[in-house]
Structure 1
Amino acid sequence: MFSCYYCNFCKNRKTTGPFTQIPNPKSVLILPKKKKKNRAAHQYHLHLSSVAAGRQPSPLRRPLSPASSVIGAHHRCVPVKLLLPPSPAFTTVVAFSAPAFSRRGPTSFQISALKPEEEAASVAKAQKLRALQTQFFSFHHNKIYTKEAVELSAKLLEINPESYTPWNYRKLAVEHYLSQPDCNPDSIKSVLDDELRVVENALRQNFKSYGAWHHRKWVISKGHSSIDNELRLLDKFQKADSRNFHAWNYRRFVAESMKRSEQDELKYTEDMIYKNFSNYSAWHNRSVLLSALFEKKAEGFLSKEKVLPEEYEFIHQAIFTDPDDQSGWFYHLWLLDQTVTTDSPLLASSWPAHGYDVLLVEERCYNVTVECGFNKNEDLLWKPLSASNSQTARVWVAHLKIPSSDLHSTVEVSVGHSKGIISTRGFEYSHPSMFSFKVHVQPMERDFSQVSVAESISLREENFMIYGTQSEESIINSFNQLSIKNGHESTASNWRSEALAKEIECFRELKIGKLTLARLLMACDVMSYPFANKLVHSEEVLELYSDLMKLDPTHYQYYKDEHSMVLLQKVTSSKESLLQHCFQYKDSVSSAICGPICLRLNNLSLSRMGAFEKLLWVQMLDLSDNELQSIEGLEAMQLISCLSLRNNKLRSLTALEPLRKLKLLRVLDISYNEIGDHSIDTTRYLCSSPLSHSVGSESNKDETVTSDVALIDNWEAFYIFKDFNLNQLDIVGNTIADEKFKSVLVKIVPKLKQLDGKLLG
C-alpha cells in the first residue's frame, strides 16, 4: 500500500461538533471592561430575509475567510428569545438547527406593534398580491407569454422582488420571443432593454434581491445590451450601500465583461476602503483581485515578496483604527494564508510499511502519478482516500502485488519526474525526488489483524507495558524514516520569515488579537516544520488558546479544536515526545519480531484529530477518554487494526464514516459515547448514504436491504458497518445499543466474533 498525503497549513478547515460556533476576530480582543448594564430577555419576531455574508448552511461550520460564499434564505418569521449583550466588545452567536444568521447582516428586529392604519394597508397589499399571483400562475402554467402576461409579472416583481418564479417566467418569455421567426436585432434589443428596466425598478424596492441581480446578469450575458451604463448604475447602488455584496459580485462580472484591468478595479476598491474601513465586501474584492494578479504574474505582481508586506501595512490602518470591526481581521487572515502557503505541493515523508506511503504537504491534489519499479507492477491504480468520496484528497493509495516466489524485493519510487501531481490551485509538483526501500515478507508470531474466538484485545491501561531498548530503537528508526531529503530544507524564504516576525512583534506589543497572535506563531512554526521536527512556539500557542476558551466561552468549541490540533502537532513533532505515548501490548512481545506499536493518545482532552502525516505507521491506536465529536481524517491511517474510541462524544453512527476506509480494522471500541442521545444527526449528510450524493462512487447502486425490516429501520448502521471486517466490537454505554440493535449488527457484520465482550455463536 502506498499513500500520498496532502495538508493545508494555516488553511481554513472544518470544525467539529453539531453547532460549532465561529469566532468573529473582534470577539477575542482584550478590551477594557465596560460597566455592566441590566439585561432583560425580550420576545422578538426575527425577520430573516437573507443570510449574512460569509455564513454557510452546513451544520459543521467553517471559519470565515474573505473567499467565503454567500448563502441566501427565503423570507420567514421566526419567534425567538434573545438576551441583550452587556457590551459591544463581544459578539453573541446564536446556534440554530437552520443556517446561522448574523446580527450585522440584513436582519431586522421589529419590536413595536403595527398601527391600525398600517395593519389595514398591509392586509390590502396582501390581498392585491394574492390576486396578482393567482392570475400570474395561471399564465405561467399555461405558458402564456402575451404582453399582458409579461406586464403582470413586472407588477408582481415590483411588489415582491424576492419572488423567484416571476423572474424565471420572464426568462422563459424572453426565450420564447427570441425563438420567433419575425424577431430582428432592433426588437431583440428593445425586449432586453425592457428587462433591464424591470430589474432596475425591482432593485429600487430592494437592492439586495438575489433574483433581480441574477436576472440582470442573465440579460447582459445575451450580448445585445450596452454594458457601458452598468458601472454608473453600480455607483448609485454602492453609494446607497457600499457593503452590498450583490453589487460587488455584479461589479466583478461587469469588469470581466468590459475587459477592465484588475489594476483599475484594485484602485477603485482601495478608494472604497478608505471611505469605510468596515467595508467587508471591498476587502473581499481586494483579495480576489490580488489573487488574480498573482496568478497572471502581472507587472508589479510577479512576486508576493514586495506586495504582501505593503498589504500588511495597509491592513494595520484598518485594524488599529477600529479593532472592534471584523473586516480587517479577516483580510489579515487571508494575508497570513498567502504568506505561508506555497503554490506547488511538497514531498515531506515516506512510510514503507506493508507497502509504502508518500506524504505531500501544502494542498489537496486532484491527480497523482508516481512511477514505481517493482517486478511487473508498472501500472498502479491510485485511489483518493476521502470520507466524502471526493476525487480531491490529501491521501492517495495504491496496492502492490508481492510475488510469493520473491520474499525480499526492492521498491524504487520516483515522484515528480513525470507530470501528474497537481494541486487544486493548478500547480504541479516541482521538486522531483526518488527513494527506495526493501520489502521483506516473513511470518509474524502474532497478527493483530486477526483475533481468535477465545480471546479479546483490550486497549486498557493494564494491558500495556513500556518499550524495551530494542523496541524503542525500532520506533526511533521508524520515525526517522518519515523524513525525505529532497534538497529542500525549508519552504520558508527570508521575506516570509521576516514578515511573520514583524507581525508577531506588532501584536505582542499591542496586547490585542490573541487569536491572530496564536495563528501567527503557528504559521512561523509551520514554515520550517516538518523539516525542523520541532515546534518552537507550541507551548505559547497552547496557552493562548486556553486563555481564549476562558475569555470567549461562546466560541469555546472552536478554540478547543485548535488547541487539540496544536497539541497533536507538538506530540508528534519529535522522537522524544512521541516515545512518551508509545507502548507495547502485553501479548505482543517476541524475541524475533517486535509487535505492533501501540500509540496511546488517551485522556488528552482532544476534541479533534490531526497530524496524520506523522501517524501513518500506527497499527494500534488508543483515543479513549477524550472529547472527540468527529474523527475526520482518520481514514489516512491505513494500517490501523485496533482502535479504541471509548468514552468520547461521538453523537451518531454516521460520525464513524472515515472508518469505512480502514480495510485492516479488526477491533473497534466505541463504547460509552453519545450515539443515540441526540435526535438530530448533524453528520448524516456528510455520510455516504442514500440521502447524499456521495454514495455512488463505491456502493453498489443495485444493492438494497428491503428484505429485512430491521435493516431498513437502521440504514445508518447498514451503510457504516457493511464494509467492515470486524472481529471484535464494543458498543455498550450508548443509548442506541439495545438488544434489537445488537442483533442488527450481527446481521450486518457476519465476521463478528465478539460483541461487548461476549462470544457470538
Structure 2
Amino acid sequence: MHGRLKVKTTAVQEEEKRIKRQKKLKLFQGALAAAFKKIHSKEYDPEGLYITQEILAANSDYYTIWNYRKNAFLHFKNTKTSDELLKCFQDELSFLQNCLKNNPKSYSCWNQRCFVLLTMSDPDWKKELQLCDLFLQFDDRNFHCWDYRRFVVQHSAVLPGEEIQFTHKLIENNFSNYSSWHYRSKLLPIECPDASDKNRIGEKMLLEELELVQNAFFTDPNDQSAWFYHRWLLGRGETKQSLLSLHVSLLDNKLTCTLRKPASIKDCSRLNVYINDNPHVVVWKGCNQGKYQHVWQSDLPKKDLFSGENKIKVEFGSSELMVEMTGQDEAISCIQTNTETFRQSSSDAKLSVLTEELKSCEELNDLEPGNKWVMLTLVLLMRAIDPTHYSSQVHDTLHELCTVDGMRQCYYQDLMSKFVIEDHIAAVDLHQRCIDLHGKALTRVCRFEFFSTITSLNLSHNQLHSLNSPFKLLHCLQKLDVSENEIVEISGLKDLTKLVLLNLDSNKISSLKTLEPVTTCAALQKISVKSNRIPLEDIDSLLQILPNVEIVYE
C-alpha cells in the first residue's frame, strides 16, 4: 500500500470546491461592501476603480457598479489633466474588451463602451469598427454587437455603401445570417431609395436584391432568414387612411364614422362635418377604451336639422361620404369595395416582378416539394397578383400547409379565414345590412370595420372557438347567429347595445360566467343556448339575471 497515490473521493472533492466558493464569496462580498461605501460617500478615486474592476471581472452585468465608474469618469473630467483622462479612458476600453470576451452579450458592457466613447474628446471610431468585425467573426448573430456597430457608424464617417458591402460579405459567408439581412434592409432605402417612397428601394436595386436572395433560398430552402428578407423586398403597401362608412341615426341623434385604419382622438380633428352644407363642429367619442379606434361617434345637434330633408356629409382627407335623409330615421353610406380593396396592402412591388417571383417559387417548389417557406410565399404572391384567379390554388396550398407544418395549423387556418372574409367583402355591396358567412370553415373573424353598419350576421356552421374579437365595432348589429361552432367564450359580445337576438346553439359553453357578457346587451330579447354544456342551476341563475329575456335552453 505504501507509495500508492491516494485517490480523493467525490465527497472530499465537493468539500474542497465548497470551501473555495466560500472564500470567493467572502472576497466578493467584502469588495461589494467597500464599493458601496464609496458609492454612498461619492468618493471617486483610483482605489474605487480598482475595487469595482475586481467586482466586474467576476460579474460584468452589475449595473450599479458600472454607474459608479461612469460617475467617476465624469468626476475625473474636472480633476485630471487631458493626458491622465485619456489614459483612464483607454484603460477602461481595454478592460471592457476583456469583459466582452468573457460575456459578449452583456448589455452593461456594451452600454459602458458607448458612454466612454461619447465622453472621450477624440475617440478612435475606426478601431471600434475593427472590434465589431472581430466579435462578429465569433458570432455573426450577436445583436448586441450589431447594435453597437450601428452606434459606431452613426457617429463616424462610414458611408451606407461601405456597410452594405460589409453585409454582403457576411451573407456570402453565411446565408443564414439574419442580422446581416436585417441591417441590409435598413441601409438600402438610404443608399438606393425609391423615387415614390423613401422607405422602399428603387427598382434596379430591387431586381439585384431579388437575385441575391434567390441564390440564398435556392441554396438552403429551409433557412428562414432569406425568406423574411424576400418578403421585405416585395414589401407591403401602406393602407391609406380613409372613410369606410357613415351612419346617421335620428332616433339616437348619433353620427357614426368608421375609418379604414384605427385613429386617435387627435386624428379625428381631420373629420369635417357638414350639415345641410354648413360646417359643424362636433365632439368625437370612441366606442371602446383604446386610444386608437376604427369607429368614432358624435351627437347630432337637433337645432341644425330640418324637419324635412337633411344632407349630412363627412370629409376625411381626400375621402368623403354623404347621406341624404328625406323623412327616414336612419341612413348609411359606405364605400364601394372590389378586388383591389385588399390587394393594395399586399405588396408594393410591380406586377411583373411579382409574376417573375411566382415562377421562381413554383420552380423551387418542384425541386423542394413540401417546403413550408416556399409554399407560404407562393400563397402570398398569388394573393398579391390576383386573389380571384388563384383562389382555389391558395386554398389547396394552405390546406396542404396544415399537414406539412402541423404545429402552425391554426395559423394557416386563420390566414385562410382572413382571405375568405376579404373575398366576401370585395364581392358584396356593403349597403346590404345582412351578411351571411355560414359554412365557410372560419376559425377567426376579422375586418369588423367593414361590417360596422350591418344589422344581421350569420356565422353559423363554422369552426370558431371564441368570440373575443371586438364585436362592439358592429354598433348596429341586432341579430347574431353563431350556432354550430366550437365556442367556449364570448367576451367580445360585451356592450352590444342594439343586439336583440343571439343564437349560441350547439357550442361548448359550460358555465354562467361565460355568458356574463350578454348581461351587458341592453336591448337583448332572446338568447338560445341549446346543446351546450351549461348546468341547469346556471340556467336558473341566468333566468333571474335576465328576467325580461327569453332564454331557450332545451
Q: Normalised by the shorter chain, which TM-score bucket?
A: 0.7 to 0.9
Map of 1:602 onto structure 2: 438
Map of 1:373 onto structure 2: 274
Kindly provide the amino acid, as one letter, of the partner of residue 522 in structure 2: N
Kindly provide the amino acid, as one letter, of the partner of residue 298 in structure 2: H
Displacement of 1:120 in angstroms is 7.4
Map of 1:134 onto structure 2: 29
The 8 Å contact of residues 643 and 669 in structure 1, kept in 2 or not, is answered as: yes
1:373 counterpart SS class: strand
Displacement of 1:542 in angstroms is 1.1
CA distance in 2, matches of 1:378, 1:211: 56
Map of 1:514 onto structure 2: 375
Match of 1:612 among 436, 448, 456: 448
Map of 1:501 onto structure 2: 355
The 8 Å contact of residues 383 and 398 in structure 1, kept in 2 or not, is answered as: yes
Displacement of 1:238 in angstroms is 0.7
Alignment of 1:77-226 (within 5 A): 123=18, 126-127=21-22, 130-131=25-26, 134-135=29-30, 138=33, 143-144=39-40, 148=47, 150-161=49-60, 163=61, 166-175=62-71, 178=74, 183-184=79-80, 186=82, 189=86, 191-222=88-119, 224=121, 226=123
Map of 1:390 onto structure 2: 291
- Higher share in helix: 2
Displacement of 1:650 in angstroms is 5.2
CA distance in 1, matches of 2:28, 2:383: 57
CA distance in 2, matches of 1:349, 1:204: 57
TM-score, scaled to structure 2: 0.77
Of structures 1 and 2, the one scoring higher in RCO (CA 8 A, sep 6+) is 1
1:406 counterpart SS class: coil
CA distance in 2, matches of 1:274, 1:438: 64
CA distance in 2, matches of 1:116, 1:498: 73
Displacement of 1:319 in angstroms is 0.6
Displacement of 1:331 in angstroms is 0.7
Unmatched segments (≥5 aa) in structure 2: 1-9, 250-254, 369-373
Displacement of 1:277 in angstroms is 1.0
Displacement of 1:415 in angstroms is 2.8
1:499-548 superposed Cα distances (whole Å, 9 cap, x missing partner): 1111111112222411110011112237xxxxxxxx32222111110011
Alignment of 1:241-640 (within 5 A): 241-293=139-191, 304-336=202-234, 338=235, 340-342=236-238, 345=240, 347=242, 349-352=244-247, 354=249, 355=255, 357-360=257-260, 367-368=267-268, 369-374=270-275, 378-383=280-285, 389-391=290-292, 393=293, 395-401=294-300, 403=302, 405-416=306-317, 432-440=318-326, 442=328, 481-483=334-336, 496-511=350-365, 512=368, 513-525=374-386, 535-575=388-428, 597-625=433-461, 626-629=463-466, 631-632=468-469, 634-640=471-477
1:573 counterpart SS class: helix
Does the C-alpha gap of structure 1 residues 120 and 288 become closer, same or farther in structure 2, counting only changes over 3 Å?
A: farther
Displacement of 1:287 in angstroms is 1.2
CA distance in 2, matches of 1:745, 1:260: 73
CA distance in 1, matches of 2:520, 2:192: 45
CA distance in 1, matches of 2:35, 2:165: 46
The 8 Å contact of residues 609 and 634 in structure 1, kept in 2 or not, is answered as: no
Q: Which has the higher mean CA deviation after the structures are superposed, 614-623 or 625-634?
A: 625-634
1:628 counterpart SS class: coil
Kindly provide the amino acid, as one letter, of the partner of residue 128 in structure 2: E
2:79 counterpart SS class: coil
CA distance in 2, matches of 1:317, 1:367: 45
2:358 counterpart SS class: helix
Q: Which has the higher mean CA deviation after the structures are superposed, 119-128 or 603-612?
A: 119-128
How many residues end up aligned between the 2 structures? Answer: 517
The 8 Å contact of residues 174 and 191 in structure 1, kept in 2 or not, is answered as: no
1:572 counterpart SS class: helix
CA distance in 2, matches of 1:633, 1:644: 16
Kindly provide the amino acid, as one letter, of the partner of residue 324 in structure 1: N
1:121-169 superposed Cα distances (whole Å, 9 cap, x missing partner): 87567545643553455457654465555544433433343x4xx1233
1:201 counterpart SS class: helix
Does the C-alpha gap of structure 1 residues 254 and 663 become closer, same or farther in structure 2, counting only changes over 3 Å?
A: farther
The 8 Å contact of residues 86 and 120 in structure 2, kept in 1 or not, is answered as: no
1:371 counterpart SS class: strand
The 8 Å contact of residues 227 and 254 in structure 1, kept in 2 or not, is answered as: no
Kindly provide the amino acid, as one letter, of the partner of residue 637 in structure 1: L
Does the C-alpha gap of structure 1 residues 258 and 737 become closer, same or farther in structure 2, counting only changes over 3 Å?
A: farther
CA distance in 1, matches of 2:508, 2:15: 52
Q: Which has the higher mean CA deviation after the structures are superposed, 288-297 or 517-526?
A: 288-297
2:426 counterpart SS class: coil
Displacement of 1:610 in angstroms is 2.2
The 8 Å contact of residues 337 and 426 in structure 2, kept in 1 or not, is answered as: no
Does the C-alpha gap of structure 1 residues 346 and 441 become closer, same or farther in structure 2, counting only changes over 3 Å?
A: same
1:519 counterpart SS class: helix
Does the C-alpha gap of structure 1 residues 211 and 624 become closer, same or farther in structure 2, counting only changes over 3 Å?
A: farther
1:399 counterpart SS class: strand
Displacement of 1:737 in angstroms is 7.3
Map of 1:66 onto structure 2: none
Displacement of 1:179 in angstroms is 5.3
Match of 1:727 among 508, 517, 524: 524
Does the C-alpha gap of structure 1 residues 609 and 148 become closer, same or farther in structure 2, counting only changes over 3 Å?
A: farther
Q: Which has the larger radius of gyration?
A: 2
Kindly provide the amino acid, as one letter, of the partner of residue 465 in structure 2: L
Does the C-alpha gap of structure 1 residues 199 and 536 become closer, same or farther in structure 2, counting only changes over 3 Å?
A: same
1:25-73 superposed Cα distances (whole Å, 9 cap, x missing partner): xxxxxxxxxxxxxxxxxxxxxxxxxxxxxxxxxxxxxxxxxxxxxxxxx
Match of 1:642 among 473, 476, 479: 479
TM-score, scaled to structure 1: 0.58
Kindly provide the amino acid, as one letter, of the partner of residue 157 in structure 1: L
Unmatched segments (≥5 aa) in structure 1: 1-114, 417-431, 445-473, 527-534, 583-596, 678-713
Identity of aligned residues (%): 24
RMSD between aligned residues? 4.6
